[in-house]
Structure 1
């Protein structure tokens, strides 16, 4: 599809992000990590939806993660309770401070569907520790491809972190969606670095 160069208006009430998808086709060497400092990884079987949404919000609200906040209960449960989806919590001294979700529903591959830390865990080395655990668990399955996507609303270091972890970019897209702060999916003060353009 040929798109013209230049600017394209985003309608008021909407947000637009550039989404970059990345992949790896072989397990990379584990990168050096700090020793676990009160960190544990706990698999959460059939997670309670309120528990999941709370952790998802605490990890992603600053970066306008909204898809799971606006998803109906039955649709969210169908994903999280699927046998081929694994949900993990990074716990810091027993408190959930990180989210890891691996989706094996497509045969032969895994999507790193969600990966992130709360503000309290960022900058501690927990991200590298969690990524090493993610790679171990993903490549323990008979897959030939592991992929993830990030966007321009995500943590500023997310894209470079994924590339340092062994992922290679292969696709870019523009995502346009209702601003979740105007729909009520997120509070209005979420992600203050992203301006709200009100509908007239």
Structure 2
């Protein structure tokens, strides 16, 4: 995904735009929150573990959480590029652990002065619907605003969980921009398995 509408071309389009069968398209919504949480206390009993430079652990969790929603940004990075991101002191990737298994991903990025990005946030399918998402978001807000930032921003798209925008709005985020993203389908060429995200089916049987 792009990192913000500031990087998008300034085009005004109206009507229907064909998308090649080799690509996928999504409407991306950008949201931000500028107020820190009222009670910045750590979430009790929330087992979070720093992933650090463990690329295999990160990739396995990223796939577990993101493949159902066609997350592909990190899947397209080689080990050197991914290691450079995760090794940056202004990036924090954390695993939510339950029963000895990683079931949630929280990734924050403070590399732009004065702001933070909630880069990745999600739960594995079996962990959704049990209140863990709310507790993980509370912790995300606490950690993000523990540094001197003016805003925390996130983006989600129509390939993500259908309740994502509403969840972020309930978490104090406000939508401020929207773009359409067209990108090569990550299931072609092996970045994601071909059966990932069945709600966005492949349009033909090509490679």
Distance in 2 (CA, whole Å) between partners of 1:10 and 1:190 is: 19
Does 2:122 align with 1:113? no
Q: Which residue of 1 aligns with 2:105?
A: 99
Aligned length: 195
CA contact (8 A) 2:48 2:96 kept: yes
Residue of 5, 17, 24 corresponding to 2:26:
17
Q: Structure 2, unaligned stretches of length 5 or more? A: 1-9
Deviation at 1:28, TM superposition (A): 3.6
Q: Structure 1, unaligned stretches of length 5 or more? A: none
Distance in 2 (CA, whole Å) between partners of 1:64 and 1:18 is: 13
Distance in 2 (CA, whole Å) between partners of 1:23 and 1:42 is: 26
Distance in 2 (CA, whole Å) between partners of 1:83 and 1:159 is: 29
Residue of 119, 126, 135 corresponding to 1:129:
135
CA contact (8 A) 2:37 2:142 kept: no
TM-score by length of 1: 0.92
Distance in 1 (CA, whole Å) between partners of 2:74 and 2:13 is: 33
Q: Which residue of 2 aligns with 1:41?
A: 48
CA contact (8 A) 1:98 1:115 kept: yes
Deviation at 1:87, TM superposition (A): 1.0
1:3-53 Cα offsets, whole Å, 9 max, x none, are 2321000012000011111001111446xxx975xx411223x23111101
TM-score by length of 2: 0.89
Provide runs of 4+ in structure 1 moved above 4 Å: none
Secondary structure at the aligned position of 2:71 is classed as: coil
Distance in 2 (CA, whole Å) between partners of 1:95 and 1:199 is: 35
Deviation at 1:2, TM superposition (A): 4.6
CA RMSD, 1 decimal = 1.8
1:89-148 Cα offsets, whole Å, 9 max, x none, are 111122110000010011111000000000111011000000000001011111111000
Residue of 196, 203, 207 corresponding to 1:190:
196
